[in-house]
Structure 1
Amino acid sequence: MRRSRTSSRQQHIQTGPNLSETACKKPLITPGSPGEDGVNRAGTLKKPRSTCHTLTMMSEPAVVERPALEDVAEEEDVFAAEGSSCCQVVEKRVGCPQEEGEKQLTYPPPVPLAFRKQVSYRKAIAKSSLHQLPCEPSTSSLNRTDPEANIRSTADWTESAVYGDHIWFETNVSGDYCYVGEQHCIARALQKSVSRKKCAACKIVAHTICIEQLEKINFRCKPSFRESSSRNLREPIIVRHHWVHRRRQEGKCKQCGKGFQQKFTFHSKEIVAISCSWCKQAYHNKMSCFMLQQIEEPCPIGAHAALVVPPTWIIRVRRHQSSMKSSKKKKRTSFKRKSSKKGAEEGRLWKPFIIRPIPSPLMKPLLVFVNPKSGGNQGTKILQSLMWNLNPRQVFDLSQAGPKEGLELYRKVHNLRILACGGDGTVGWILSCLDELALNPQPPVAVLPLGTGNDLARTLNWGGGYTDEPLSKILSHVEDGTVVQLDRWSLRVEPNHTAGAEPDEQQNDKLPLDVFNNYFSLGFDAHVTLEFHESREANPEKFNSRFRNKMFYAGTAFSDFLMGSSKDLSKHIKVVCDGTDLTSKVQDLKLQCLVFLNIPRYCAGTTPWGNPSEHHDFEPQRHDDGYIEVIGFTMTSLATLQVGGHGERLSQCREVTLTTTKPLPVQVDGEPCRLAPSVIYISLRNQANMIQKTKRRTSIPHLNDQQHVPDRLRIRVSRISMADYEALHYDKDKLRQASIPVGLIVVPGDSDLETCREHIQRLQEDFCSLSPFKYLELQEEAAKPKTFSCQRLSPKWCFLDSTTADRFYRIDRAQEHLNYVSEISQEEIFILDPELVVMAAVGTSPSTMPDLVNPTSSPINSRQESSQKTAEIQQGKEMERLIECVKNKDVKKLQELHTKGTDLTSLDESGCSLLHHAVHTGCKEMVRFILDNAPSDLLDVTDHLNGETVLHQAAALCHRTICHYLVEAGASLMKTDMQGDTPKDKAEKAHDAELAAYLGNRQHYQMIQREDQETTV
């Protein structure tokens, strides 16, 4: 029937009839139908520029002919059956504007409708990834000549860059899910385990040997640039979605609002979702949720649209095009400055890529520099995550090249912001490059601290190091951060000819850096740093552990203290601050370390200047006042730094002249050397723009949508052990179940976490005054039992952010004053206690969960205990009625009882839930009703006799459909009963091989789900 309708009218499109909704609602997209080339922005067809597209029209009022769900699920296997001829046709049709002299492409033979149905989603999505921009690259740019060119881990900025090229990183994900599909998977054909790689930009996973097979299915990464063309000036610049098939997807469908769940099909690896790599929108892979017209819709880019550099801004310029244009126009001498150096000048001026920004007051384009060597393996992970959240071409790897190239490329971008991911040295490197390029205005720099130390990052409220805060949240802070100024100080060194020469010692005439942002010091601390630096250069293999490095530092400091190598420092220096000679004061105090400090933080977070508010001689320290603080240390004051002490305040000045009479160890922002006798001049160089992290609410209300902040918040506090956090931090529901209540606090609605910490500490003091063996329990519906003692919180506890969609995140204690309690809590706060010891539950009712209320304000009196017993008796009667309904398979009666308020979460004396009884009867309607109306906690409730969950029982009874219902609802497939059997083992013992295979497949999904092979939305 469809074949006859299709063949009734086929025509080649020469001119453009209007395709408005009244004339032709939805054209059928065939494997060769036009993407952006065939349909213009107004929704009308236009004459193709280089290819002849075929659009099949219906004789009746046009209706979309989209593939059925089962056809879409099989698209992985279609191309292998069709052969290489189809792929060749596709490659021809995906082409770009015709080059001069190129022959017109011929029409391909008609393609059967069944084939079109099966591949319409595949081809439409494949074409969408190539037709998102106003101009697509020529076909020559899509042809690879070097087999290694497609295995790249950074963006290619050369002329030979491939449009839609993936950026591959090693991955340790397991499973049989290579994106090319089973028909094209070489590893599957070889039946052996091979390495896999994951694309950082679109998050697909493929075997290393299968990467070239992506060409066969015509799948490319989200485009990060566009080609130059004169026609682009007359066309609107938009970015289209980059749709990717996903076999696994978290979150909910944007269309229907339901979660993404696997269909119940044995040995199936279905595509469950279609999501966009730019905006992260995701839809179910079915016609009711994902419409074909969405493929050509403009993409909103997502939550960080203000930070993302659109691919339409980044333009590749062909070398031969420039020469052709210059030859046709009037004489231009810009490319021929000197005839004798024609080639050199042209090579220097021509760049393969240029940035053509479109200024907008709402845009804050972000340029990111990542130092992968900082913070162990953190840098590499952050690099990949930023490429996923942003355009890969706005993220630069500093291990490949310095920041200068990226800064030069983006120097004309209006309202540019920079994110430096690394240590303070990385920030200083970027600031020095900004000085060299003399950008005006200078873009502000934010810091994502990696590694240890990070005093500048602490000063700007970015914390002392990256833990596991969501990068999306960090990007929001970068966008909303306040721009502040940072003083930068010049160091000019001249040799001190009056001092006696000491040729035997290794000494330098110059400092490692001629500018500092944090501090310049000499004496004890510089000597320890220099010894560490020299030892590491001599034996780098001995310094590959952070713990060993710290131990070496401690040992060197202790030996230097015993030897007193810096005790005579004051005898060999002369200090003049703003014309005032402080040498006599330095000698009187017998200082062994002298620090010229620009920021309040020093030595991994200490505050050596302290708070001089009670002294009228000095002002509080600022990083933007044009003054530098001069501080001296004795061995005693150095020792007290870590416990809140401060050094000897000597001066706040604008200029310093420091004279040394012997070689001394010095360090500039952590870079040490042994400096020969010199005269050092310190003066203000300039001020750099920096981004300071500020308090930010998760949702900022509009002017016409003001949200009321409550005067007081009543919040429940629960703590989590480190073992539970490490095992379950990706499973929010189970982590909530594993938490132990601490109590209730009442705080003002606009409180930050520092205020909450004070309330929690007071709550602990009140609670721990009780007997340590006293247990308090209250009823809470639909929760599991736990018993706990009043174990005191350890000093190292920290807050957890539980509001993100995917997992819990730790909050740095140094940033608690920047987070409102409303940002991380709705009604409950979770805290991580690394020293928490959880006690086993003893003698608790299976239907209760303890909720600790401050015993001083809410005691459990005898009246409450009496009412509790009455409620338990009433609950037992209700349970009997419910079990009777289930055994009789009376669904209507069960619905009536539920409507009257009967609790479906009750357990009988054997620990079996109502769901256990429903599974035992095998009534599918009953199971479906309970799953739809009861909390998901029932899925993993175990009986007292065998320790079996409902899925164990369903598998043992070979109830396939019920097993599917339970797995779809989220039942655990890794939970074992008292015999150590999983649900899969139960199915095997029941001799149901297909059910066991299905459960094994789903168990494998759960085991690797947290690695998320393809994407998380």
Structure 2
Amino acid sequence: MLHHIEEPCSLGAHAAVIVPPTWIIKVKKPQNSLKTSTRRKKRTSFKRKASKRGNEDNKGRPFVIKPISSPLMKPLLVFVNPKSGGNQGTKVLQMFMWYLNPRQVFDLSQEGPRDALELYRKVPNLRILACGGDGTVGWILSILDELQLSPPPPVAVLPLGTGNDLARTLNWGGGYTDEPVSKILCHVEDGTIVQLDRWNLQVERNPDLPQDELEDGARKLPLSVFNNYFSLGFDAHVTLEFHESREANPEKFNSRFRNKMFYAGAAFTDFLQRSSRDLSKHVKVVCDGTDLTPKIQELKFQCIVFLNIPRYCAGTMPWGNPGDHRDFEPQRHDDGYIEVIGFTMASLAALQVGGHGERLHQCREVTLLTYKSIPMQVDGEPCRLAPSLIRISLRNQANMVQKSKRRTSMPLLNDPHSIPDRLRIRVNRINLQEYEGLHYDKEKLREACKIPLKRFFFGFDFPAIPLGIIVVRGDCDLETCRMYIDRLQEDLQSVTSTTQRVHYQDQESSFPRVLSVQRLSPRWCFLDATSADRFYRIDRSQEHLHFVTEISQDEIFILDPELVMSQQVGTPPGMPDLVVEQAVIAGDLLKFIECCKKGANLLIQGPDHCSLLHHAAKTGHSEIVKYILEHGPSELLDMTDSETGETALHKAACQRHRAVCQLLVDAGASLRKTDSKGKTPRDRAQQAGDPDLASYLESRQNYQMVSHEDLETAV
């Protein structure tokens, strides 16, 4: 390879964002030999101190940056918080280290962003990518304020947190799944620079209360600046409970889904305790000179939110849709105004189904007085603040990178006139198991889509199942395309319900017919099939940024995580589907997992319609139950057998398997469903002579009933 040594390196496709090695100048380390150390002893004490101080200045900086200015370059600094959300940061850190110069990628768990920003402060056209939650973004913006960089570099977001409301606002999505780093770098480079209002929070002691009447609580907020929202009342109390539990047991909060489930449970507990019902009696709110206190007390709000961005509480829109503002201006994150919204318990519950709060005001300054210790949160950082006077005012505007709608360099799009008016596209859906096994091998996955159907009968899965054909406009985006696919699904369901199943003499032709009418789960998503190395999922909140022609030209692949293979098409003896039932009954976890990896169907049922979950619950094998719940479709939970009409929860309650009952209840199994004799799982536990289990099931049944009735009232 000697003849390649003199060739210049182009830095590849992402040369514009990579820090070239020529910019990095190594700092010489001080000599540590015995000779030099002996010589140092002869120096004066003043010089020794100066030398020590000089070493401290260079500590942690083995190199300096000397940039060469170029208008074509947009050097990127990447900050990764490995502890955000579901601990995805470690994998993301390694990927960016591979694609970029390792000297431009920083682990925030090792050191803060200050040193890195000071090191690169003289680099022109600098951009920053914050990989973490909204708190990580706020941390970086605060350091940029302190350093007073001119101009301040724009910040992009790779969402790794739990809520990711700022990332959703800037079109970066609600959470990172598996988008290639190469595409992320392209989006950061091509993104639009927008402004983000930032607000000061000034806290003082409540002057209306004497010193001896002040209650216990924090004397200052966890943050003095907020970018997303500042709130007090019910939502802050739930966040405070989550924060305290995570601090006590961090190992239990390593999953974004588990974090959201904890929020839901804490919210329900607080709802029963009614801890925030008297909030309106203990606050005074004045916005731009207008006193909102009478309206707050009249409507008895249990939560007040001061909102800067449209998104809140993991993607909800508390201000309402853009076209439904009546007497108010549309909400913006760069207009210098903050939105004030009030919530009752019912309107908070309705947020999750498209509702919104009571719009109170749009203002530039807020004065808030509290007369008792009240839970508050600043961009998700909670505390219980003692009675205080809080002033909210505009601080400045930060530069942010917004992910923009873009065309790719696909052959179809090289010439704008070559885009057809109409596209006829076949829709294929893939189940989660095959996607996880083959999405890194595009060619194998594509070939698997073309496997003759008869191979299924000899033990091969058929991963891509044709759903149908849609006709869309050539410039259609994925958000619109989703509507066409949902409409196609409804048409297929209506045809099936009126004509029933058509029996063909050729099983090979009837197989796709049966599978094509299996209803899509609400969690289906588009797959991008155009990346160089693999398929990857597209976040639903980013569908409006992608054109159909960006991800395919003649066919679309969608991932349905709950798609299963029909076991009614006779699987030959000896296949995993026939072995897996024996493994469940015997309690052989390793054998069971092995069968599942070979393609065993978790929805398989025997002649009595007992599913694998029924068998595992009846025999009390909790590890197998846990595996089925994590990897199987949700319809298994309340599936009944044909003999007794019992669900898996009925089976576990009859056998007094408490651990299994708890797993099923936590997963959402219905406690009100009755068997053929009209008995609930609680009744079965009582009959089996386990009053403690019956009491537990009864308490959880009341929980489900209250939650259901409250949601119906909110809707």
Q: 1:578 to 1:776 in 2, by over 3 A?
A: farther
Kindly provide the CA deviation profile for residues 521-566 of structure 1, in whole angstroms up to 9, marking residues without a partner as x: 0111111112232334345565556565444433332232222211
Structure 2 distance, partners of 1:375, 1:594, is 26
Structure 1 distance, partners of 2:193, 2:369, is 36
Structure 2 distance, partners of 1:718, 1:419, is 34
Partner-residue secondary structure (3-state), 1:382: helix
Compute the RMSD of aligned alpha carbons. Answer: 3.2
**Does the 8 A contact of 1:775 with 1:787 survive in 2?**
no
Letter in 2 for 1:820: F
Per the alignment, residue 189 of structure 2 pairs with 479
**Does the 8 A contact of 1:740 with 1:788 survive in 2?**
no
The 10-residue stretch of structure 1 (598-607 or 660-669) with the greater mean CA deviation from structure 2: 660-669
Letter in 1 for 2:369: T
Per the alignment, residue 821 of structure 1 pairs with 548
Q: CA deviation at 1:377?
A: 3.7
Letter in 2 for 1:798: C
Structure 1 distance, partners of 2:361, 2:110, is 43
Correspondent of 2:169 among 452, 459, 475: 459
Structure 2 distance, partners of 1:667, 1:575, is 17
Structure 1 distance, partners of 2:211, 2:247, is 26
Kindly provide the CA deviation profile for residues 116-172 of structure 1, in whole angstroms up to 9, marking residues without a partner as x: xxxxx4xx4xxxxxxxxxxxxxxxxxxxxxxxxxxxxxxxxxxxxxxxxxxxxxxxx
Per the alignment, residue 571 of structure 1 pairs with 281
Letter in 2 for 1:296: E
**Does the 8 A contact of 1:718 with 1:743 survive in 2?**
yes
**Does the 8 A contact of 1:315 with 1:355 survive in 2?**
yes
Letter in 2 for 1:796: R
Per the alignment, residue 765 of structure 1 pairs with 490
Correspondent of 1:796 among 518, 523, 537: 523
Partner-residue secondary structure (3-state), 1:296: coil
Q: 1:363 to 1:425 in 2, by over 3 A?
A: same
Correspondent of 2:559 among 816, 825, 832: 832
Structure 2 distance, partners of 1:675, 1:505, is 9
Letter in 1 for 2:314: A
Per the alignment, residue 755 of structure 1 pairs with 480
Correspondent of 2:232 among 512, 517, 522: 522
Where does 1:929-968 land on structure 2 (aligned, <5 Å)? none
Where does 1:416-455 land on structure 2 (aligned, <5 Å)? 416-455=126-165
Q: 1:975 to 1:464 in 2, by over 3 A?
A: closer
Q: 1:320 to 1:619 in 2, by over 3 A?
A: same
Letter in 2 for 1:301: L
Question: Are 1:690 and 2:400 counterparts?
Answer: yes
Q: 1:580 to 1:754 in 2, by over 3 A?
A: same
Per the alignment, residue 602 of structure 1 pairs with 312
Structure 2 distance, partners of 1:743, 1:732, is 22
Structure 2 distance, partners of 1:420, 1:411, is 17
**Does the 8 A contact of 2:215 with 2:387 survive in 1?**
no
Structure number, greater radius of gyration: 1
Q: CA deviation at 1:576?
A: 0.7
Kindly provide the CA deviation profile for residues 823-850 of structure 1, in whole angstroms up to 9, marking residues without a partner as x: 110211011112223236969xxxxxxx
Structure 2 distance, partners of 1:679, 1:532, is 26
Question: Are 1:717 and 2:427 counterparts?
Answer: yes
Per the alignment, residue 208 of structure 1 pairs with none
Letter in 2 for 1:406: A
Per the alignment, residue 470 of structure 2 pairs with 745
Kindly provide the CA deviation profile for residues 176-218 of structure 1, in whole angstroms up to 9, marking residues without a partner as x: xxxxxxxxxxxxxxxxxxxxxxxxxxxxxxxxxxxxxxxxxxx
The 10-residue stretch of structure 1 (801-810 or 618-627) with the greater mean CA deviation from structure 2: 801-810
Kindly provide the CA deviation profile for residues 446-484 of structure 1, in whole angstroms up to 9, marking residues without a partner as x: 000013210000000000100111111111111110000
Correspondent of 1:367 among 77, 80, 89: 77
Q: 1:584 to 1:841 in 2, by over 3 A?
A: closer
Structure 2 distance, partners of 1:542, 1:704, is 50
Per the alignment, residue 885 of structure 1 pairs with none
Structure 2 distance, partners of 1:386, 1:296, is 27
Q: Among the aligned pairs, what percent are the same residue?
A: 73
Structure 2 distance, partners of 1:470, 1:787, is 34
Correspondent of 1:411 among 107, 112, 121: 121
Letter in 2 for 1:816: E
Per the alignment, residue 774 of structure 1 pairs with 502
Question: Are 1:318 and 2:46 counterparts?
Answer: no
Give the number of equivalent residue pairs. Answer: 542
Letter in 2 for 1:767: L
Q: 1:318 to 1:641 in 2, by over 3 A?
A: same
Question: Are 1:582 and 2:307 counterparts?
Answer: no
**Does the 8 A contact of 1:500 with 1:661 survive in 2?**
no
TM-score (norm 2): 0.71
Structure 2 distance, partners of 1:390, 1:507, is 46
Kindly provide the CA deviation profile for residues 366-406 of structure 1, in whole angstroms up to 9, marking residues without a partner as x: 00000111233411111011011110110000010000111
Correspondent of 2:357 among 611, 633, 647: 647
Structure 1 distance, partners of 2:546, 2:262, is 36
**Does the 8 A contact of 2:161 with 2:256 survive in 1?**
no
**Does the 8 A contact of 1:730 with 1:808 survive in 2?**
yes
Q: CA deviation at 1:723?
A: 2.2
Q: 1:374 to 1:544 in 2, by over 3 A?
A: closer
Where does 1:386-405 land on structure 2 (aligned, <5 Å)? 386-405=96-115
User: Which residues of structure 2 form unaligned runs of 5+?
Assistant: 32-45, 450-462, 576-596, 600-715
Per the alignment, residue 650 of structure 2 pairs with none
**Does the 8 A contact of 1:519 with 1:598 survive in 2?**
yes
Letter in 1 for 2:469: L
TM-score (norm 1): 0.50
Structure 1 distance, partners of 2:103, 2:503, is 58
Question: Are 1:554 and 2:279 counterparts?
Answer: no
Letter in 1 for 2:530: T
Partner-residue secondary structure (3-state), 2:21: coil
Correspondent of 1:810 among 531, 537, 540: 537
Q: CA deviation at 1:567?
A: 1.3
The 10-residue stretch of structure 1 (758-767 or 815-824) with the greater mean CA deviation from structure 2: 758-767
Letter in 1 for 2:527: L
The higher-RCO structure (CA 8 Å, 6+ apart) is 2
Letter in 2 for 1:752: D
Per the alignment, residue 668 of structure 2 pairs with none
Structure 1 distance, partners of 2:554, 2:6, is 42
Q: 1:347 to 1:294 in 2, by over 3 A?
A: closer
Q: 1:552 to 1:740 in 2, by over 3 A?
A: closer
Per the alignment, residue 509 of structure 1 pairs with 219
Structure 2 distance, partners of 1:502, 1:548, is 43
Question: Are 1:300 and 2:10 counterparts?
Answer: yes
Structure 2 distance, partners of 1:805, 1:400, is 33
**Does the 8 A contact of 1:612 with 1:618 survive in 2?**
no
Q: 1:744 to 1:544 in 2, by over 3 A?
A: closer
Where does 1:140-219 land on structure 2 (aligned, <5 Å)? none
Where does 1:82-97 land on structure 2 (aligned, <5 Å)? none
Per the alignment, residue 179 of structure 2 pairs with 469
Q: 1:788 to 1:727 in 2, by over 3 A?
A: farther
Structure 2 distance, partners of 1:422, 1:777, is 56
Partner-residue secondary structure (3-state), 2:565: coil
Partner-residue secondary structure (3-state), 1:312: helix
